[in-house]
Structure 1
């Protein structure tokens, strides 16, 4: 484990550079922007959780931390961010150098305050169920929902709405038989009209809401009855027409109900078909009119005629959701697209979860739904207060010392519009603020923050001076308790022009964090820029970075020497350019949104997996070990475990597949062979279990059609060009591709550097 990963385990944070440039011009020499990946609710072993409110600086609002200067006699502390002197509260009268409170001990850069505030109402959850799926699929969906009810905390308030051609809102106060309100899905109703129809006028008492939202402990039997008696939408279907699906109307109604609930919550939308009826329509009822694909959206063809209006409709729901702390999850289970592309901003900006699976009767859907309500109890954290996967109503704020400014963040959140003295002029991602809002946040939610240096080269920051960054996250647990997690991170300033510091700066470079920060920025750019322009931008950064820090003699490729801390960065970029986060070929718009949405919320190492998958080999003659992601790693005598985060594949070599098919594993004499066949599957389950979404699992043999998932992501070091199109027995396979190998890519990189 690297020192950077250890820092992440202690504080949930990783920086691209752990020594900061001392001026704007020096920042340009560093090439990669100063930034960090931060997981606010990361499970941290031994996290200190004091039961009192923090002390704030009266000028910049930063929180008392280990790097503040303390006058023990006068009980005054100087803020390390703005240097304002502040009086300590009476509760700190007994402190001394030998008797420090937790927040002043330097080994505790991250602490979490259990705020002494009035608990809020518990969150509410509305299941929004598409009933236009097949009967077998509906049975599988009902089974999954029943299992989820047993995992949801009893204090949650639950509601249920079903939709197809019409929208049905269930009144949970009727125990003896289900009662529901019905609204035509084709109608576009305002929030006031919906509230009037459902009797939601009395905001203060929540009397109207209580018909549709009940504590799980009181309505579990009623909910179970409703779910078990659900039937497929009765609207008559034909082979030439799609079902009538009123997703837009159903979402608006669910949002209107939750907007009356002061505890906030989430809408969990379970889709099986695209919206074809009412507001938010993404496809027509006629199957002869195809649903849009990437080329339709880019060229604005007739197939994309609904995209603009549908996107605008779903975007119009965002403001109410943010104001009322409502997150929207979308679980799309269909072999066709369901309109996730048009709903992407609603899910992203409310901090919702997104999943695409083939059907409700799949491990991907079932295990992902279960994962939401499971506890995060691991060997590294036995703290019961950190075990809830989902938390709510989070606000993330950043304070910086005067030499630094926050340029923005890239993640699933929205701006809180707090423009303080910590905000930079330039913007990266969601900028122009030092605070962001997340309606929903969990233990894996990770945000990329980007910073700017304020000093000019004429007035650089003194080398070895410490710059400070403090990130505070206020959030609400499912029990309604308020928490504030604070991470304070100090860093030295330096200059690559100083020969005494350059080696330290090189060693401070975290190439994994840097690669993910650049990749996040590239994915963010896909909303407004063309693919080729972004690729040129990525390549330009790579060329500048390696030319700045590699040692070489011009026009002598053999003299090229890249420092260890930079050696894997080109490889990350090579694989990132080819992955489905950037390329849209062979992916639908819905799938592309799903992959990018997940990438923008995951931790550093999970993001690296999406960019450059991991490959593990299993042999009879040696223990399991990681191998290079190269076609040369494919062997007839090896089992390979291939992990892309979204997909886990076990690949059996040709010889091992023959022995397996002949039943050698059933012979007690070959128990080691049986163990070899089983071990990759066990490891795959261990990898998959903690993830959301739960990855797809596949087993295949070398040379089979599904082995393409592996070969398409491997470095094509053996192609028909390099081998004369001869695939010798016992050798790794030949890849039929025109894509250049990493070796060709790196040679081109060196040639580009020589031309500078």
Structure 2
């Protein structure tokens, strides 16, 4: 029997799913007492080189309100050629093409290792099945779609000259001195994958989308203006961009925003264009920087087969067993308002539906899906019962094929009154932290910052009270099991992150950070919340160290990855050696290798990440060392640096509380009788 961490890793690798709980409480009442909801991080197009698409149609349940796809959890009667849907229990006849199936001759979709499977849709409007082509005899090879629009000049030179001569002015009236109005993509390619790339070098100063006036003396809105309700263009512009985003998402068109300027460009108002359509949002100082150029090149990354790593016009449908319903999704999607028996009345994020449209997908696009256990407390689930969820993603592959990827997963039910230890052991603290963080970021869009932090703190205190081991009113007795031990520090760093703290960030920067957080997978999202810190020294090989001021030592080099920045920090002694040029001397070759090691590791990160992070090389006392000092836990500050008795790290000039103070206060509140 695999341990829960191994089980969680296997499921993520195979299905691209991480649940907050991997054993589910069997009643609505008990589920609400768990504090963290039953929820999942789902990456629809997680890369699976071992998963070739299957060249036939999926088999669907015959019940109109279900239409679930045949999967390994279904019960099969091989003699009668029947299968029972594991969601609605409908008995279905296999299609004639499955006549030869048996216990030893099973189709791929019934094999346990294919809980995720991908089908290529064989018949679409304008396309015919291969068999139909063969019946009509030999046909000429189909021409690529691009041939309708692109031909060699020498082939069509005469035709082009004739066409240009025949061109007439568009009869639509155009005001003198104005350009004609167009919406070409919307008219010519409705409901077809398309990508609109917008390159923005400054804020809009005219029209319904203007975010600032044309007078230079009036600056673009700041957080202070928004708090004072002093941003006169914001509401109208946001409404305009939302209407554009809705039109684009209805047609399945992606809107990318590439904003390059030294000041704000209006991302706060325009963010819905990328957020609703699954588009990319990139922010840089200039279009001429290598940072932007390399980021833009990565948009067109190709897979091994030569197709772009992008998918278009996708829909995600969620099907659930009867005891659980879907409350909503948070991520780059819009609702398709599809009501059904598995839709919960309690909405979280984009809710009230079991289907979402995702106009743009890539292999890392990840949605947070929230569920509600609806089984009543007085209606126990039989021992050994399992709750099942099926994710059906239909999308247009970059090769033009229409594909369907189906992921079916199940988890055990447990009675929280008698099996609370089993439920607690199944807690995935990393997934739970990201799922709660997405909820907090979603609330931060419409609520006051301090209110969101108070909500987050209340949830953390309740979780400690529910799953901590302690004596009443004795903070020193508080203990958290290993499965919960990292969760409080994730919350500590989340509270300090740019996703919830807008101080020192412009509204555009906050919108950019939140956009990236709401679309990245679990690994990248964790790095955003709690950056990774590696230490390089003569004492041994590179090692991960605590994100703490005590890790900043004079004889160390630190590499910090915040997702948005890759920072190399040279300690005071190392910086002095470097300035003295020791690395140039043959007898100090080991020092040259020490300086080079973090640079090599940083390059590896820079080559794989999208968008490309900013690269910072700094040292003790350097102006850009502030990026490191603002992220580490301030265990040593100017207030307590002399109380330590010895120098064991760099003091941070801050009034922020340290993780230790935060934890002590948390324990005190969790064990309090008055709580």
TM-score using structure 1 length: 0.80
Structure 2 contact 254–277 (Cα < 8 Å) conserved: yes
Which of 89, 101, 108 is 2:114 aligned to? 108
Matched residue of 1:107: which SS? helix
How far off its partner does 1:119 sit? 7.9
Given that 1:117 and 1:482 are in contact with CA atoms closer than 8 Å, whether structure 2 keeps it comes out as no
Contact 2:478 2:671 (C-alpha < 8 Å) held by counterparts: no
1:71 maps to 2:69 = no
Following superposition, the deviation at residue 621 of structure 1 comes to 2.1
CA distance in 1, matches of 2:145, 2:557: 45
- Residue 51 of structure 2: SS of its match in structure 1? coil
Deviation of residue 156 (structure 1)? Answer: 10
Deviations 1:686-743 (A, max 9, x none): 1222222111110000121111101111100001222249997x64111111110000
Within 5 Å, give how 1:594-633 maps onto structure 2.
594-633=512-551
**Match of 2:365?**
445
Q: Which residue pairs with 1:217 in the alignment?
A: none
Contact 1:617/1:624, CA 8 A, preserved across alignment: yes
Match of 2:429 among 495, 508, 511: 511
Structure-1 residue corresponding to 2:441:
523
2:412 to 474, 483, 492: 492
- 1:746 aligns with 663
Question: Pairwise mapping of residues 337-486 of structure 1 onto structure 2 (< 5 A)?
Answer: 337-376=264-303, 384=305, 388-486=308-406
Contact 1:363 1:696 in 2 (8 A): no
Partner of 2:59: 55
| Structure 1 pair 731–687 and aligned structure 2 pair: CA distance change class (3 A) | same
Q: In the TM superposition, what whole-angstrom CA distance separates every residue of 1:523-578 from its partner, at most 9, and x where no partner exists? A: 11112211111111111111111211111122333322111110000000000000
Aligned pair in 2 of structure 1 residues 156, 559: CA closer, same or farther (>3 Å)? farther
Of the three residues 664, 668, 671, the one matched with 2:586 is 668
Q: 8 Å contact 2:39–2:435 — kept in the other structure?
A: yes
Which residue of structure 2 lines up, in the alignment, with residue 163 of structure 1? none
Report the alpha carbon displacement of residue 463 of structure 1 after superposing the two structures with TM: 4.0
Query: Does the 8 Å CA contact 2:470/2:671 hold for their aligned counterparts?
Result: no
Q: 1:300 aligns with which of 221, 229, 241?
A: 229
- Name the count of aligned residue pairs: 637
Q: Is the 8 A contact 2:17 2:41 kept in 1?
A: yes
* Contact persistence 1:195–1:256 (CA under 8 A): no
Distance 2:228 2:643 in 1: 38
Counterpart contact for 1:113–1:484, Cα < 8 Å: yes
The question of whether the paired residues in 2 share the 8 Å contact of 1:531 and 1:582 is answered with yes
Distance 1:197 1:713 in 2: 58
User: Structure 1 stretches (4+) deviating beyond 6 angstroms?
Assistant: 156-159, 725-728
- Match of 1:737? 654
Q: Distance in 2 between matches of 1:709 and 1:388?
A: 35
How many angstroms apart in 1 are the aligned matches of 2:87 and 2:171?
A: 48
Are the equivalent residues in 2 in contact too, given 1:376–1:388 (CA < 8 A)? yes
**Could you list the runs of 5+ residues in structure 1 that have no partner in the other structure?**
122-152, 160-172, 182-192, 199-245, 378-383
Q: Which residue in 2 is equivalent to 1:569?
A: 487
2:624 pairs with one of 685, 706, 721: 706
The 5-angstrom pairing of residues 627-666 of structure 1 reads: 627-666=545-584
**Kept in 2: contact 1:48–1:102 (CA 8 A):** no
Q: What 5-or-longer segments of structure 2 have no aligned partner?
A: 128-143, 151-158
TM-score (norm 2): 0.90
Give yes or no for contact 1:332–1:356 (8 Å, CA) kept in 2: yes
Matched, 1:19 2:14: no
1:493-538 alpha-carbon deviations (Å, 9 max, x no partner) = 113321xx33321221100000000000111111221111111111
Tell me: CA distance 1:581–1:154, structure 2 relative to 1, closer, same or farther (3 Å): farther
CA RMSD of aligned residues (A): 2.7
Return closer, same or farther for 1:154/1:598 CA change in 2, 3 Å cut-off: farther
Deviation at 1:417, TM superposition (A): 1.1
Q: Distance in 2 between matches of 1:461 and 1:299?
A: 53
The secondary structure found in structure 2 opposite 1:470 is: strand
Whole-angstrom distance in 1 between the partners of 2:172 and 2:592: 66
**Paired residue for 1:91?**
97
The Cα of 1:754 is off from its aligned counterpart by: 1.4
**Distance change in 2, residues 1:562/1:705 (3 Å):** same
Aligned to 1:242: none
**Aligned partner (choices 172, 176, 185) of residue 257 of structure 1:** 185
The CA distance in 2 between the partners of 1:540 and 1:713, in whole Å, is: 24
Partner SS for 1:278: coil
Given candidates 527, 550, 568, the residue that maps to 2:468 is 550
Give the secondary structure class of the aligned counterpart of 1:467.
strand
Distance change (3 Å), C-alpha of 1:110 and 1:120:
farther
SS at match of 1:686: helix
10-19 or 543-552, which deviates more: 543-552
